[in-house]
Structure 1
Amino acid sequence: MNTALISAQKSKQLFPQTAGMVSYTYRQSFAKDVAKTLDTLKTLGINDIEFSNLFGRKATDIRALLDERGQKCSSFGVSYADAQNKTAEVAQNAKTLGANYVRVAWIMQKPPFTIDDAKKAVEIFNKIGKQLKNDFGLTFCYHNHGYEYVKYEDETLMDFIIQNTNPDYVSFELDILWAFFPGQDPADWLKKYPKRYKLMHLKDLRKGIVGNDSGGTSVENDVALGTGQLDIPAILKAANNSSIVHFYIEDESPSYTKQVPQTLTYLKNLKK
């Protein structure tokens, strides 16, 4: 097949790139053998990884394994506590891994999530983000988890967080399932804040599951993209007009070894 034909075919694809992977999808495998798990991802054509755990290894060890395979870690996920209390250590690990982003995915201490929680988060996010950017050249991202979409005034607490954090220091990772679960349209959020989202978690919710604002559902409700409730094409079209830099597949289901290849095939076959 000639180069021009390949290029023409790719130009018709809605998602011509290969998505990255969140390490949490392969958490049990990574815990047993990081090298073999990276080999598995390499076989699937996946070279961009968001590590949300070092799996008992040193960042230098994981970086060496990545380099050997021509893979990269573009984002490093850490706990809210570590982001606040071990900012320099977190940053050094992120830099060692080769990441450009540091991500936090859960901030609620106990339900419900309130305006006071959101105000505190804004203060802390701005502080962490400023230190990461100015001292280490890293971008801080907050990953939504569903409970932030409760109503506040005429909008939501998620709006409050986005509007009151400094865009120079704070960006966001859109987890599309955790936007959809409490009744939101992920595409609408990308259209509303096209410059604030840098990362995305690609995942789908089993048909028939009714969401809420708890921030939790059974891991078995994660299904292969295109087989669930989310309008993936509409979300990707909106993402193409946003500031998203990295897309990561996340599949928390026990069936991930079967579902990840299905998701990759689905994404490859999507047309504009």
Structure 2
Amino acid sequence: MRPISPELHRRAFLAAGLATMTAGGASAAAQPFFKRHGLLIGIQLYTLAPDAAKDLEGTLKAVAGVGYRSIELQGLLGRSGVQMRAALDAAGVTCASIHVQGRGQLDGDLAKLADDLSAIGVKYAVMPSPLVSNQQIQAAGGDWRKALTLLTADDWKANADFLNEKAVVLAKSGIKLGYHNHNFEFAPLGSTNGMEILFEKTDPALVTFEIDVGWVAAAGLDPATLLQRYKGRVSLMHVKDIKSETQPNFALKMDPTEVGSGKLPWTTLLPAAYAAGVRGFYVEQEPPFARPRIEAARISHDFLAGLKA
């Protein structure tokens, strides 16, 4: 019997290695999106706002029971940072992102705010809507939503300046300031719009963005295209779905539904978001709800947990 040559040994070794690598790659690709990337499926607590207002501790435990381990808070809900951290710890969940209002929080005692957020473990503080002047609200007959339609390009530039200014202070505590969109930011202002102005006029080293893909779609735009355009500027995403009957608009209107039950193409959208730099994903659903909010949250979570993208 002829001995096997060293060359044949080498070829067999390489072939076995290639087969192992191929099998490993196929195995990884077969895993659901969030598991494959080692990401938590988060939820913005606004989804269960009435429940959280009545019983924060019980609501946190309920969403943890669904499977969520990452919470994005809708403000401090009347708690100190230490008290909120205790509630989160008791439920076995973490909070790396929180929504903070421009008026009453970001324009107030930033040192105290930073202390509260640091106690929780927050890394991102997100302004969920633009500053609107009292004069604009009065001109809109006291209707805040209508006042949003009165914002000019200069108003959006002023908002960008505000974000830059506050971001410098929060950065000293290791907290990055961000902005969260709705659909009114995309209303045309000549050759631009409010969202473009915010991206262009904020400092990339200081200010990040949380893209709400449901509101982007409600504006009649493609979220994946937006994410690609601003690659590297977006750290967080609201995972929100809308029904196909939603008509494009800039007036805070949508037909909401659970994630996976609407028209957004999640198998391509989630990889596009990851490629653009998004690492914080938070389910959020707008009212009205067709079922109890916790059940809607469960449907969205279970869809995403099993999604291969």
Change (3 A) 1:260 1:10: farther
Are the equivalent residues in 1 in contact too, given 2:73–2:98 (CA < 8 A)? yes
Tell me the distance in 1 between the aligned counterparts of 2:221 and 2:274.
19
- The reply to whether residue 190 of structure 1 matches residue 224 of structure 2 is no
1:52 alignment partner in structure 2:
74
Tell me the distance in 1 between the aligned counterparts of 2:196 and 2:240.
22
Q: Any residues of structure 2 matched to 1:8-87 within 5 Å, and which?
A: 8=27, 11-16=30-35, 17-81=39-103, 82-87=105-110
Cα RMSD over matched residues?
Answer: 2.1
Off by >6 Å, runs of 4+ in structure 1: none
Post-superposition offset of 1:153: 5.1
1:270 alignment partner in structure 2:
307
- The reply to whether residue 217 of structure 1 matches residue 236 of structure 2 is no
Residue among 230, 243, 246 paired with 2:280:
246
Post-superposition offset of 1:86: 3.1
Q: Which runs of 5+ in 1 are unaligned?
A: none
Tell me the distance in 2 between the aligned counterparts of 1:264 and 1:75.
18
1:158 alignment partner in structure 2:
195
Tell me the distance in 1 between the aligned counterparts of 2:192 and 2:156.
13
Are the equivalent residues in 1 in contact too, given 2:41–2:305 (CA < 8 A)? no
Single out whichever of 189-198 and 256-265 deviates more from structure 2.
Answer: 256-265
Tell me the distance in 1 between the aligned counterparts of 2:82 and 2:60.
15
TM-score, normalised with respect to structure 1: 0.89
2:154 alignment partner in structure 1:
116
Which amino acid in the other structure matches residue 200 of structure 1?
M
Are the equivalent residues in 2 in contact too, given 1:190–1:238 (CA < 8 A)? yes
Tell me the distance in 1 between the aligned counterparts of 2:90 and 2:297.
23
**Matched position secondary structure for 2:211:** strand
Residue among 202, 207, 217 paired with 1:180:
217
**Matched position secondary structure for 1:173:** strand
Post-superposition offset of 1:233: 2.1
**Matched position secondary structure for 1:240:** helix
1:149 alignment partner in structure 2:
186
**Matched position secondary structure for 2:276:** coil
2:124 alignment partner in structure 1:
101
TM-score, normalised with respect to structure 2: 0.79
Tell me the distance in 2 between the aligned counterparts of 1:108 and 1:213.
17
Q: Which runs of 5+ in 2 are unaligned?
A: 1-22, 133-146
